[in-house]
């Protein structure tokens, strides 16, 4: 099992560019999540998907969109990147209410 995988590992964008962060899990989990982590801070939830076909906003959803493509995949899109979106992005998955499993993260810099 690869667990939770994320691509890309690193990305540099110019202000206004768009990109999609990809996440996939092979644990047959129902729920998936996107977090961001700014330097020296804990993680904050951007969006989550409780099950295939559903998505909901988390604590900091502005500037992001998500797609739960199927049970395995949950993508995060930045339509028009801003420097304030420079962060490390983590995807996670879980089986309903159990513990979350996290991916290795995507380090995004917006200049």
Partner 1 sequence: DAKTTQPTSMDCAEGRAANLPCNHSTISGNEYVYWYRQIHSQGPQYIIHGLKNNETNEMASLIITEDRKSSTLILPHATLRDTAVYYCIVRGLYNNNDMRFGAGTRLTVKP
Which stretch, 9-17, 50-58, 67-75, 78-86, contacts partner 1 (CB under 8 A)? 50-58
Among 58, 60, 75, 86, binds partner 1 (CB under 8 A): 58
CB of 63 to partner 1, least distance (A): 19
The residues with which 37 forms a beta bridge, in sequence order, are 43, 88
| Residue 49 parent element (H or E) | strand 43-49
Is 12:109 a contact under the CB 8 Å cutoff? yes
How far is Cα 80 from Cα 85, in angstroms, rounded to an integer? 10
**Which residues of the chain form contacts with partner 1 (CB under 8 A)?**
4, 31, 33, 35, 40-45, 48, 50, 56, 58, 88, 90, 92, 94, 96-105
């Amino acid at each position: 099992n690869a667990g939770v995988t994320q691509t890309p590992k690193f990305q540099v964008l110019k202000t206004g560019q768009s990109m999609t962060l990809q996440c996939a899990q092979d644990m047959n989990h129902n729920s998936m999540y996107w977090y961001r982590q700014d330097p020296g801070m804990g993680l904050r939830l951007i969006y989550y998907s409780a099950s295939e076909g559903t998505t909901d906003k988390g604590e900091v959803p502005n500037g992001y969109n998500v797609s739960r493509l199927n049970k395995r995949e949950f993508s995060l899109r930045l339509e028009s990147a801003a420097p304030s979106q420079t962060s490390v992005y983590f995807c996670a998955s879980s089986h309903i209410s159990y513990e979350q499993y996290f991916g290795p993260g995507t380090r995004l810099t917006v200049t």
